[in-house]
Structure 1
Amino acid sequence: MDEADRLRADKPARRVVKTSRWLLLRNRENVPDEQVVRLEELLAANKALLTVYLLKDDLKSLWRYRSEAWARKAWRSWKRRALRSGLEPLRVFVRRIEPYLAGILAHCRWPLGTNLVEGINNKIKVIKRVAYGYRDDAYFFLKIRAAFPGLR
């Protein structure tokens, strides 16, 4: 919180951080060459920002694991570092993410992208629109299963 209080008091520094939002959200490999120096200066000027930036990159690696056990180990390591950072927003983030950990780790077994899930959801919506005449839920779910024969 000391860093946030300092930024509230220091208007020019606050403006620099606010105008750099999209730069900070980009993957490091996607930062244009002309903005790399600006990113490095920004991270060097703010220790808390550097910590969060590095932890962000580490957390993204969680999606690359194919073994749930290794992903869980990586999560525990990341969580320990986030909590040790002493940054309250990171502690809040860890508490909010923890209930969803089972779903995140399920990505190791079933690495479905959002594009496939959205496609399935849209197909189910179409079946639901047609299903207004169906008399029971069992038939509705049977139609959904029939629409996706390869998914069980």
Structure 2
Amino acid sequence: MIVIMVLGSVRPEEARRHQDKAREFKKQVKTVKDKEVLRELKQNIRDESQRYTRLKRARWSVLTDSRNLSEAGEEFLNEILNTHNDLATCYTMKEEMNRLFELRDKEEACCVWMKWFMAAKEIGIPQLQKFAELKERRLRGLVAHATHPVSTGKSEGMNNKIKVAERIAYGYRDEDYFFTLIRYQSSLGFPTFIPLRAKKNGMP
């Protein structure tokens, strides 16, 4: 979610800024003759290029759960966040959002989610604002997660089983049988053939 939509967008954007600065300094080098200024420009080029490389390398550290980072990984991440304000802000909002999914009281969840949306939209980072607006439309489902904590993985797994059932049957005309087949797949595994009842109920 926020990892892909926000951090996955802000990090490359900030990396490009370093790249653009390095290119700008390179253009200035061609017109400068003063040795001291030239030395300073070359140092700036090296610094921006190093920042660009480090930020590109930080992809995994930024996108992964902070609890999965090693001590060296945490140190590297902190160095990146300390020098990139927008990225640090989005990362902090991501960590806070992860905490919201651990809430188990519906009223508290609703209140805290609304505060999160408000903060995300007021920060002024376009990617974060857009993400907050999209998630706010799903507030009801987010609040329901407090009492029914079903992960998207289970939902996606069920959707895949439905698709497989439909492919096995080459489409379906009997809805009762179709849902029976889905329940069968969920409890016993994937059948390798369609039982004869499928033809009796009008299925091809």
Q: Deviations over 1:74-100 (max 9, x none)?
A: 111111221222222211111222223
Residue 63 (structure 1) shift: 1.1
- Which of residues 61, 84, 92 in structure 2 aligns to 1:46? 84
Is 1:107 matched up with 2:145? yes
Q: Where do residues 13-28 of structure 1 align in structure 2 (5 Å cutoff)?
A: 13-28=51-66
Q: Bigger shift: 32-41 or 98-107?
A: 98-107
Residue 121 (structure 1) shift: 3.5
Is 1:65 matched up with 2:108? no
Q: Where do residues 2-151 of structure 1 align in structure 2 (5 Å cutoff)?
A: 4=14, 6-7=17-18, 8-10=20-22, 11-12=48-49, 13-125=51-163, 127-129=165-167, 131=169, 135-141=173-179, 143=180, 147=184
Distance 1:21 1:14 in 2: 12
Q: Bigger shift: 92-101 or 17-26?
A: 92-101
Q: Deviations over 1:29-64 (max 9, x none)?
A: 221112222211111111212111111100111211
* Aligned residues of 2:105 and 2:146 also touching (Cα < 8 A): yes
1:109 match: secondary structure: coil
Seen in structure 2, the aligned counterparts of structure 1 residues 136 and 80 have a Cα distance that, compared at 3 Å, is same
Distance 1:15 1:93 in 2: 27
Query: What 5-or-longer segments of structure 1 have no aligned partner?
Result: none
Q: Bigger shift: 7-16 or 85-94?
A: 7-16
Distance 2:119 2:160 in 1: 39
Counting aligned pairs with the same residue, the percent is 33
Structure with greater Cα Rg: 2
2:155 match: secondary structure: helix
Residue 130 (structure 1) shift: 5.3
Query: What 5-or-longer segments of structure 2 have no aligned partner?
Result: 1-9, 23-47, 188-204
Seen in structure 2, the aligned counterparts of structure 1 residues 45 and 132 have a Cα distance that, compared at 3 Å, is closer
Structure 1 equivalent of residue 200 of structure 2: none
Structure 1 equivalent of residue 190 of structure 2: none
Q: How many residues align?
A: 147
The structure in which a higher percent of residues are helix is 1
TM-score normalised over the length of structure 2: 0.58
TM-score normalised over the length of structure 1: 0.75
* Aligned residues of 2:165 and 2:182 also touching (Cα < 8 A): no
Code of the residue aligned with 2:67 in structure 1: it is E
Code of the residue aligned with 1:59 in structure 2: it is M
Distance 2:152 2:65 in 1: 19
Q: What CA RMSD, in Å, does the superposition of the two structures yield over aligned residues?
A: 3.1
Seen in structure 2, the aligned counterparts of structure 1 residues 137 and 60 have a Cα distance that, compared at 3 Å, is same
Distance 1:50 1:144 in 2: 48
